[in-house]
Each structure stands twice: as C-alpha cells, then as structure tokens.
Chains A and B, each alone.
Chain A
Amino acid sequence: MPAPARRIPHPREKRMVFAHIDREGYTPDIACYLSNGGYEDLKKAVTMAPADIVNEVKASALRGRGGAGFPCGVKWGFIRPGETKPIYLICNADESEPGTFKDRYIIHQDPHQLIEGMIISAFALNVHLAYLYIRGEFPQGAKILEKAIAEAKANGFLGKNILGTGFDLEIYVHRGAGAYICGEETGLIESLEGKRAYPRIKPPYFPAVLGLYQCPTIVNNVETLCHVKHIVRMGGAEFAKIGTPNNTGTRIVGVSGDVQRPGYFEIEVGSMTLGELLNDLCGGPKPGRKFKAIIPGGSSAKVFRADERFKIKVKGQDGAMVEKEIGVMDIPMDFDTMAACGSMAGSGGVIVMDDTRDMVETLNNLNQFYAHESCGQCTPCREGSLWMRKITDRMLADGGVESDPATLASVSNNIAGKTICAFGEACSWPTMSFVAKFPEEFAARATKPIPPPTPPEFLSETLTGGSH
C-alpha cells in the first residue's frame, strides 16, 4: 500500500483519539505505542472495580459515535448485575456509511489504541471473548489488527491472566464481506453467527439483553471504544467538560465532496459551526462556486439546502429558552442542534455539493447505494429502495413524468418507520429530503405528461358491470 498522505492537524482541532494519526514517524507496532504511553490506561483500569469504570463512562455522557448517538454508559448499564450467561463485546468496525472515514485511520495507523479501549471495556463488562467485526474491504486493516492482537498477547495485555489480575480475554478479528447492513448491530450479530445479516426483530431493543449466541452483548463503534480509554485516563467528569452538556467529548468529522480541502478533523463536539468547519477548516467552496447542499452526518442524514434557515430554541442570557433563527452555516457541530434542525450528526460524515451539481443525479447515486444494500428482509425497504432508484434512474434518462416527485415522496414516506431496522429511515430520508428541499430541480426533470388514465371500458367497475 502506498504510504498514506500525512496531514497536519488544524489549530482548531482537539486531537485525542486521533492524537497519533498522521504523526511523522508514528508506526502501528506495539513498541511505538508503548513509547507513547500505550497501555498505561489499561494498567490503571485493572486497579479499578469494573463497576467504577462503567460509572466513569456513564459520568462522561459519551454518546456512541456510530450514528445513533446513544449514550454508551446507558447501553453498558443494560447488562444485568450478576449476569450468569457469558457476556460478549463486539467492536463494530464495519465503517460503511457513505461519507464516513475515521475508523480506517485508527485501524491502520493506531490499532493498539482500539485494542486497549476494547480490553478496558471488556474488563469493565466482565467479557472474556470479544470480536472485532471489520468490514471485508479492509483486508490490510484486518492484518494490522491481527498483528496488534498478537503483540498485545505477547506483552501480557491479552490472553490469560492479564497483567496478573486473573482476568482472561481473547479478541478475534472477524471480517465482513461487503454488506452495509452489517453495520446495524443486530445484523452484525447475525453475520457473526454465520448467517445472512438480517437485522433482528425488536424488542428486545438492545443486544445487551439478547445478543450473540442469545447472550448479553455490547456492540460499540471503533471511535467509541477508543474514547473509553481516554475516559479512564482523565475520569468521566473531566471528559464531560469537553464539548457541551449532553454532547460531550471530541468527535471525528470527515468532510468530502466539493470543498477545497476535504479531510478528517477531530473537534470538540459543538465547538464550531458547520460554516466554520466548511469554510475555515476545509477552505470553503472551490473557486467561483457556491455551496448548494450539505449532508451533515453520513449519507442517511437528511440533506440541508445551503440557504435554509431554522428556528431553534436556545438558552437565553436569563436562562429561559428563547427562539432563535439560524442559517445552515450557523448550526453547531453537535448531536442535539443538528437533530433540532431536522437532520442528524449521525456518523460525522459531511458530504458537500456545490452549485455545479445536479440534485437528481446526486440522489440517484444514493438511491443506487440503498437499493443495492437493502438486506431484503422487509418489503417496504426492499421494494421501496428499488423503486426510488428506478424512478430517479428514469428521471435521469429523460423519462421523468410529472407525478414522479410526488411518487418519490410517497414511496419514501411509506418506508420510514415500517421496517425492522433503521435502514428503512436511512434509505428513505435522502429521497424525502432531496425532493422536499430541491423541488425545482426535481420538477425540471419530471416534465413528461402523466400517461393517460385507463379508458373507461377497462375500469374494473365497467368490467364487472358495476356489481361490486
């Protein structure tokens, strides 16, 4: 593999998880990790009571970095005290949400950070067997992780009697095979059981109740598990001071598409606006162009129009909630405001389109993705994602009819909320939002008259003599 391009962190970044990413001379082996304070947090963790580590994670208010933003400590808290069944930990390294590219760098450049985060989490949760589910398209990443695991084992951080504490843990790397749905935690578990990755019917809502092999299981994202290590180091309360209340810590955002300097940035959650991210850190739009549309949190997040405005509630100077009008570029990069503006921070993948882009074409690309990746288990999603793709395909081939935008809206509205897993929302939100926010572009591609209705002699009432 060619050496990855090294990037210098932007001064407005706050690097914790990405502290060693792109550092000159930093290598993924354990010697380098140890000489940079590696596994010190594990040494600290094993002196703590497991329940105290869980409490620190709860106090940190860390929210999962995979996409849903669910509080990690709450998820961990679902494991019943005194659980008699084996408990499993799975690291979700299936990074496959379009627009997201953060786990790749942790895995390739700083694998021991992730392994250390996993060992600490396993110790806290009384896990003795953990799996690292990595997407199939990271063959080199899988090899790097396997090497890191072997090194950790050779150094007594993994295996039997870790650091003389009597705690045993094995971690195995499990490779996926190209299916996006494996990022859904119950789909991932099915896949790890050797089956098709069909997400499981809820309830139980969390694999912490019934997960891998019908045992309690915690599934966490790569970035989330890395944060656990930092929480142990600095303490949950101290971690919670980073960011804003309920939106704590740092997170890695990746910007791609039409900006001058696309890339990844680790920022304090809420410390800058979307506009600052795109203009200051990414250099703004390409020369002579203007931003047109921004997908703020991975391809599934609803799109923003660059000129859109929102009314949100914020705390005024006297502490009372007041309404405030803000533009897209003023939205802080956090979980809650992003949701209040009708989209989501999701997986932190920001995709930018400028005024040279055709929104029907853009949506069609996403529709192709979702039609391809629907697992096929639920009818609304399997059929709906395909029809949305077929309609935008037809619109691009000059076959758009006047009713197409309305049909797209209706199909998407009939998927979200009607499926076993959140893929239903994920595949319908792009169509829903693109059609609603760029009606003029969709109308311009949907000009053919609607085909004439069926002649009266073929109507069912006529055919049956009006008898039913």
Chain B
Amino acid sequence: MQIPTELTAQIDEAISHYPVSKRSASLPLLHLFQEHFGYISEEAILWIAEKLELQPIAILELVTFYPMFRRTPPGKHHIRVCKTLSCALAGAEQLKADLCKATGIPCDGHGGCHGGTPGHGDPVAVSPDGKFSIESVECLASCGTGPVLMINDDFYEAVSAEEIPNLLSQYK
C-alpha cells in the first residue's frame, strides 16, 4: 500500500483538527482512505490504527458499524440509490431496477443489507465492465424531490427512467 504525499498531508491536517484526542480522527482517516483507494483494506485498517495509536479492532469496529465504509472495491463510479419511504413512494425501486438493467448488474429489489440480492451493500455488486456499482441506501435527505441518487459525490433529484442513459453516459 503506497500512501502518496498529498494523502499524508491530508491525514496530518485531519488529525490536527482534534487537539484533544487523536482517536477522533478515525472517521476522517477512513474517509480519506476510502476516497483514495475506493475501499478499506486490511492494510488500511492496520495503518490507521498504528497512526492513531489504537488497537486495529478500534478501527475495524467502525468499518463494520458505519454503512458508508466498504471492504471490497466498488466500480469505477459508485451509485447510491435512496430507498426510504418518500423516495419509495416516488418510484425508487423501479429506478434501481432500471439502473441495474442499464449497467448489467443483477437485481431483485433493494438488496444487500436489506435482505434482498446480496451484493448491493457491502460487498457491493460491480457491473461486468467494472464501470459501475450500485448500492441501496437509506434516506439521503431530499425527500421532496424523490427519487434521488448519488453517483460518486454528485447528487441527482427526481430522476426518471428516461434520464438514465444520459446520466450514465456522463461517467466514462
């Protein structure tokens, strides 16, 4: 595992935000690692634990607790579809099925941690070309404009089936 210089700088900056307890930098460091490497590897857990002078379990228990952290690599572009009530009323389940179809990812309902198709949470299912992965997530806090989704850090509201090809084509 290679830690590039700019990541090291970001890590040190993050730690400096918590003058009272370095342990508080656990989540920020996990975010930085996931943003850089796409997921949290065993090595990353050990590295962060050592950096923050913690036992590795103190980091591992965060990775297994917080739904955003993944232990396997996602697709090049990661899609999160909101599945909670307001979006569900606005057709989120169909949207997810359409997205799965468009990206070639198997789908039967809102899966993963929600008891449906395995591979829609952690580990996350990746399309055959490795370009996309899709995850069902709980409320993204934009209930008035459902159904909503995120692609990487970008946020899209009131997404219709017709928009999908255009939307996905923006992500090469």
Contacts and interface: CB of A to CB of B under 8 A. Distances in A.
A104 B84 contact: no
A389 B90 CA distance: 21
A101 B142 contact: yes
B153 A140 contact: yes
A177 B66 contact: yes
Interface stretch (B4-12, B13-21, B97-105): B13-21
A389 B24 CA distance: 34
Interface residues of B, number: 50
Contacts of B110: 368
A260 interface: no
B86 A137 contact: no
A191 B27 contact: yes
Nearest to A258: B89
B84 A175 contact: no
Interface string A77-110: 0000000000000000001111111011000000
Nearest to A100: B141
A258 B17 CA distance: 44
B67 to A, nearest CB: 4
Contacts of A195: 23, 58, 62
Interface string A171-212: 010111111100000000001111111000000000000000
B66 A213 contact: no
A197 B65 contact: yes
B88 interface: yes
Interface in A132-149: 135-140
Given A100-B143, A349-B143, A2 B86 contact: no
A129 interface: yes
A256 interface: yes
Given A139-B153, A191-B27, A96 B86 contact: no
A213 B20 CA distance: 8
A140 B84 contact: no
B143 A254 contact: yes
A136 B66 contact: yes
A277 B139 CA distance: 23
A243 interface: no
Given A177-B66, A213-B20, A256 B138 contact: no
Given A194-B27, A369-B138, A372-B138, A1 B154 contact: yes
Contacts of B25: 194
A239 to B, nearest CB: 27
Interface string B132-144: 0000011111111
A428 B24 CA distance: 32
A112 B145 CA distance: 24
B62 A196 contact: yes
A359 to B, nearest CB: 12
Contacts of A254: 143-144
B150 interface: yes
Interface string B74-89: 0000001001111011
Nearest to A430: B85
B60 to A, nearest CB: 11
Interface residues of A, number: 59
Interface string A388-403: 0100010000000000
B139 A98 contact: yes
Interface in A211-248: 213
Given A1-B154, A174-B27, A255-B144, A369 B84 contact: yes
Contacts of B84: 98, 299, 365, 369
Interface string A138-164: 111000000000000000000000000
A381 interface: no
A98 B67 CA distance: 16
B85 A174 contact: no
B154 A96 contact: no
Most chain A Cβ neighbours within 10 Å, of B137, B143, B145 = B143
A247 to B, nearest CB: 23
A177 B27 contact: yes
Contacts of A179: 65-67
Contacts of A104: 141-142
A375 B69 CA distance: 16
Contacts of B19: 129
Contacts of B114: 368, 372
26 contacts: A5-B145, A98-B86, A98-B143, A101-B142, A136-B68, A137-B80, A140-B154, A177-B30, A177-B68, A192-B24, A193-B24, A194-B58, A194-B62, A197-B66, A254-B143, A256-B86, A256-B143, A257-B85, A257-B89, A262-B86, A262-B144, A263-B144, A299-B85, A349-B143, A368-B110, A373-B138
Interface of B: 17-21, 23-28, 30-31, 52, 58, 61-62, 65-69, 80, 83-86, 88-90, 110, 113-115, 137-146, 150, 153-157
Going nearest first, the 4 A-B pairs with the smallest beta carbon separation are A177-B66, A256-B143, A178-B68, A194-B23
Given A98-B86, A194-B62, 16 more contacts: A96-B138, A97-B139, A100-B141, A101-B143, A101-B144, A129-B20, A137-B80, A137-B137, A174-B24, A177-B30, A178-B68, A194-B26, A257-B143, A365-B84, A368-B83, A393-B115
